[in-house]
Chain A
Amino acid sequence: GESVGLHLPTLSVQEGDNSIINCAYSNSASDYFIWYKQESGKGPQFIIDIRSNMDKRQGQRVTVLLNKTVKHLSLQIAATQPGDSAVYFCAETFSGGYNKLIFGAGTRLAVHP
């Protein structure tokens, strides 16, 4: 849903551990979801996406889970590396709304060696 003036929570993990980043979305009509990684001073970078007709999708070291019942998304990163340190955002959109992409609040991931 719309993110209004929220400050970013931080998830701290040890290098090599698995990370789970959660996101709640607000629009039950949303049918397409994307996870982005954003490094300081840069634009968002696509990580993985999922459509509403799926509940799980896997990529390289990443998995996205979708629970439409409770409007919840999660991003799992396996064997987290220092290079994964960034801010992660989920984003949602729905067909028929000019496909505008609405970002969630975001989570800062800090990976410690």
Chain B
Amino acid sequence: GAVVSQHPSWVICKSGTSVKIECRSLDFQATTMFWYRQFPKQSLMLMATSNEGSKATYEQGVEKDKFLINHASLTLSTLTVTSAHPEDSSFYICSASTSSQGDYGYTFGSGTRLTVV
């Protein structure tokens, strides 16, 4: 079945530094990748949608200059949290989607726990 590899699974960084999270589709080409953020005991909140080779579309209230998304190939998308602060500490999850003949499936990564100290 479709597999999405996300890493790192956890990262601790100092306030003011940047962190990059990678999301790879291992055995399929992802037309679209989605990035979510999840705070403890809450739901997944969509941050942005990215299509290969084009700029990401950010959800309302998500700072595009803070959360940089690159989707340079059909198998790789990256999320960079720039100038991280403690309030950016969260669980970040990516999802890769394929779209074929009106059918679409979503495969999720295992998530990245970011702690900013």
Contacts and interface: CB of A to CB of B under 8 A. Distances in A.
Interface stretch (B14-22, B79-87, B100-108): B100-108
B46 to A, nearest CB: 6
Interface residues of A, number: 27
Classify the secondary structure of B's interface with A: strand
A8 to B, nearest CB: 5
A113 interface: no
A101 B32 contact: no
B44 A44 contact: yes
Interface in A1-16: 2-8
Interface of B: 6, 32, 34, 36, 39, 41-46, 49, 51, 57, 91, 93, 95, 97, 99, 102, 104, 106, 108-111, 113
Interface of A: 2-8, 32, 34, 41-46, 89, 93, 95, 98-106
